[in-house]
């Protein structure tokens, strides 16, 4: 945030973005694992729910808040970063009071080495959920990169607030949908959410062809519902296949796929706009998202296959299932099977 405050050109902005990305990526896997470690019971859906709702709600609030500040507040290029700097300083002061979920051991520098691993028992499910991660976050990347431009250039709405509202509608709907379906079977949620994402993307493309601002926001809201539910279903399917010592590394792998899907297609779309035009680029982009979302809906069948989600011998039994799928064994039996957390697990990753 300090670099953002001092930036006076494209170069410093890119440097600030790079540092922000490194910080976010370093923290994401450990935070996700820590949320699962701290949930009330091993079978609680609360950890995966927070892992889905928190990023979506943060993106929605950030887009709306930034739009309001840029449109109505002074110092539009610095005020938002000053406020975020204050918020991060406050959060940093709170972190030491969080409970640690792994035991301390020698090798602090080795524990900071990045690791992204997909355990053998999770590989088939990881491949099956990958199209879902790519489709959902690629749609998010479209709105974060071209959403304001679409509002101005295609829908002819020249307000910074409306550009922010497009992003807020997508991710706000994602957060709300996740809360509504968190206790349903994850494979069913992933499949239905992927279909909703494809339908919402198609509706958005129709709105841009119109153009129709009302239809655009309806399609955006439906896409957001699909984004939240499909990501939640895919995340819960993966979370059920690992113990505490493997969670951070598996979630890091999932976030690598998600962040690449968020960034790479958006950059390619930005490069294509000068030659293809904004409307044509968005149409091609949306068509790819629709294909990936439908592929994710088909992949949900693979995740639903019991053989795809059965832990390997000697591994931890599923740790995050819906209440209808809660195993019959007692919590202390599950704890007895849990491997000793390694240095790359939980919040110590």
DSSP codes joined into one string, 221-280: HHHHHHHHHHHHHHHHHHHTT--TTTHHHHHHHHHHHHHHHHHHHHHHHHHHHHHH-HHH
SS3 184: coil
CB 322 within 8 A of CB 183: yes
d(CA 309, CA 50) in angstroms, rounded, equals 22
98 pLDDT more than 90: no
| C-alpha distances out from residue 250 to 9, 114, 120, 154, Å | 37, 12, 11, 40
184 pLDDT more than 50: yes
φ, ψ at 134 (rounded to 5°)? -65, -45
Which pLDDT value is given to residue 81?
94
d(CA 122, CA 99) in angstroms, rounded, equals 28
pTM score: 0.76
More confident residue, 150 or 107: 150
φ, ψ at 104 (rounded to 5°)? -75, 150
**What six digits make up the tokens of 54?**
């928190």
CB 229 within 8 A of CB 324: no
Q: What's the angle, vertex CA 147, arms to CA 217 and CA 65, rounded to 5?
A: 85
Q: What percent of the chain has pLDDT over 90?
A: 43
d(CA 211, CA 285) in angstroms, rounded, equals 17
d(CA 59, CA 147) in angstroms, rounded, equals 13
Which of 251, 311, 334, 256 is CA-nearest to residue 120?
311
Which pLDDT value is given to residue 304?
61
Q: Where are the alpha helices (DSSP H) in 154-185?
A: 160-181
Which pLDDT value is given to residue 229?
94
Which of 141, 346, 127 is CA-nearest to residue 252?
346
Tens of pLDDT, residue by residue over 30-69, are 788 888 888 888 778 888 888 889 989 999 999 899 889 9
More confident residue, 293 or 345: 293
d(CA 248, CA 254) in angstroms, rounded, equals 10
Which of 293, 290, 72 is CA-nearest to residue 194?
293
Of 25-29, 102-106, 114-118, 233-237, which has the strongest mean pLDDT? 233-237
d(CA 224, CA 230) in angstroms, rounded, equals 10
Which pLDDT value is given to residue 317?
38
More confident residue, 96 or 26: 96
Beta strands in the chain (DSSP E): none
328 pLDDT more than 50: no
Q: What is the DSSP letter of 45?
A: S
């Amino acid at each position: 945030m300090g670099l953002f405050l001092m930036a006076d050109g494209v170069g410093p902005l890119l440097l600030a973005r790079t540092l922000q990305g490194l910080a976010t990526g370093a923290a994401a896997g450990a935070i996700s694992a820590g949320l699962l470690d701290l949930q009330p019971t091993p079978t609680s859906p609360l950890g995966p729910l927070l892992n889905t709702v928190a990023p979506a709600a943060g993106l929605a609030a950030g887009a709306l808040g930034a739009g309001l500040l840029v449109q109505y507040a002074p110092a539009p290029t610095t005020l938002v970063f000053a406020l975020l700097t204050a918020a991060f300083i406050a959060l940093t002061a709170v972190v030491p009071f969080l409970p640690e979920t792994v035991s301390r051991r020698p090798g602090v520098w080795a524990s900071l080495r990045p690791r992204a691993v997909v355990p053998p028992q999770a590989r088939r499910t990881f491949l099956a959920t990958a199209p879902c991660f790519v489709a959902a976050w690629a749609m998010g990347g479209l709105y974060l990169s071209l959403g304001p431009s679409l509002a101005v250039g295609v829908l002819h709405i020249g307000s910074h607030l409306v550009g922010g509202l497009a992003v807020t509608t997508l991710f706000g709907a994602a957060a709300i949908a996740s809360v509504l379906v968190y206790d349903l079977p994850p494979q069913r949620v992933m499949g239905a959410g992927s279909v909703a994402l494809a339908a919402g993307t198609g509706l958005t493309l129709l709105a841009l062809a119109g153009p129709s601002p009302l239809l655009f926001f309806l399609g955006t809201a439906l896409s957001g519902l699909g984004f939240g539910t499909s990501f939640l279903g895919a995340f819960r399917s993966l979370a059920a296949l690992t113990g505490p010592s493997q969670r951070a590394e598996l979630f890091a792998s999932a976030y690598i796929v998600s962040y690449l899907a968020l960034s790479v297609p958006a950059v390619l779309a930005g490069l294509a706009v000068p030659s293809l035009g904004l409307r044509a680029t968005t149409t091609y982009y949306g068509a790819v998202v629709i294909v990936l979302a439908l592929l994710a809906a088909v992949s949900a069948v693979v995740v639903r296959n019991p053989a795809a989600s059965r832990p390997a011998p000697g591994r931890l039994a599923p740790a995050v299932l819906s209440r209808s799928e809660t195993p019959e064994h007692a919590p202390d039996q599950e704890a007895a099977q849990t491997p000793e957390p390694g240095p790359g697990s939980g919040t110590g990753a």
